Amino acid sequence: MAFKAPDQIAVAAVAAGEKKAHLSVGKLLVGGFLAGAYIGIAGLLAVDVSAGMDRAIWGGSITLVTGAVFSLGLILVLIAGSELLTGNMALVPLALMRRKASWGLLLRNWGLVLLGNLVGALFVAYFLAVQTGVIGGPDAADGTTAATTFERLSSIASGKALAESNLEVFLRAIGCNWLVCLAVWMSLAAEDIAGKILAIFFPITAFVALGFDHVVANMFFLPAAYWAGTPDLGWDDILTNWLFAGLGNAIGGAVLVGVAYWFLYLRGTPQDAPRAAGSSDGTATAGAPRGSGRDAP
């Protein structure tokens, strides 16, 4: 199986970040909507699949199953193509540090993608989770699928928005996007779909199993739980969680992946070094043999 070495991944990541930074407003919003919806669909599937698993029997395997299923979200984002804020938190800063993008373009990208992700996640939460009845409610009969899915969603949302302190959310969000951006980073190394899926699967499974906070995922889980009728959950709790999750995600992606790998593989190299031609998900297009100075296909 062909793959890129870490220094080649860095070149491909800069090319991907540059391309994302220069996308039109319409493409950022539509791509952001799709990514938010994909993460929401993955979250909905994860809740449905893990609902009803008895902790006395399954123990920690419940979060492992939840994470394995939730990896569908980033697989859809990267393979189908869309714009996810948390991944862009590593790629666009890389382009900025290589002088392929400006601060204005970075803030424009993050702001528009954030808006698109929010609308997409809310769309899935309200129309596909709550209004379809896939997520039940507090009045669902005990033992029914509706009751178990509501209980599972409420448990996830209450843990994130009510039980975790702001510091805990912030720190968990750092760990989350460190892993998410590593998944994006490693997917750039793969040159076939199977390799990309494997690169995505394990880091995403890990962050969910560890209980870390992903701001876009929480844009689905928390509003869906609120609209379904989870007790004691309010919009002030939801917005506070989003704030600290977003800040932590930005540090995890921009610093622990973007800056770290810029320092390892790009710092001090010529700014005009040949770069990879990026496709929609940031991977290199075919054309140059390995070792030619261009990113290999």
Tell me: the pLDDT tens digits for 163-203? 999 999 999 999 999 999 999 999 999 999 999 999 999 99
Segment 84-105 mean pLDDT = 97
What is the CATH classification number for the domain harbouring 129?
1.20.1080.10
Domain extent, residue 238, equals 6-265
Whether residue 172 lies inside any domain: the answer is yes
Whether residue 283 lies inside any domain: the answer is no
The total domain count for the chain is 1
**Which among 45, 37, 48, 43 has a CA at the least distance from the CA of 124?**
37
Segment 86-95 mean pLDDT = 98
State residue 55's pLDDT score. 80
Mean pLDDT, all residues of the chain: 91
pLDDT in tens, 192-202: 999 999 999 99
Predicted confidence band of residue 292 (pLDDT cuts 50, 70, 90)? very low
State residue 130's pLDDT score. 96
Whether residue 296 lies inside any domain: the answer is no
Whether residue 270 lies inside any domain: the answer is no
Q: Which residues contact 290 (CB under 8 A, 6 or more apart)?
A: 296
Whether residue 74 lies inside any domain: the answer is yes
In the numeric block, the tokens 């309200």 are attached to 126
State residue 1's pLDDT score. 54
| pLDDT over threshold 90, residue 250 | yes
Whether residue 192 lies inside any domain: the answer is yes
C-alpha separations of 266 from 5, 14, 103, 146, 262 in Å: 13, 9, 19, 51, 5
CB 45 within 8 A of CB 220: no
Name the percent of the chain lying above pLDDT 90.
82
pLDDT in tens, 25-34: 999 999 999 9
Whether residue 83 lies inside any domain: the answer is yes
Whether residue 290 lies inside any domain: the answer is no
Amino acid at 210: L
pLDDT in tens, 269-283: 887 554 443 333 433
Q: Which residues contact 53 (CB under 8 A, 6 or more apart)?
A: 61, 62, 65
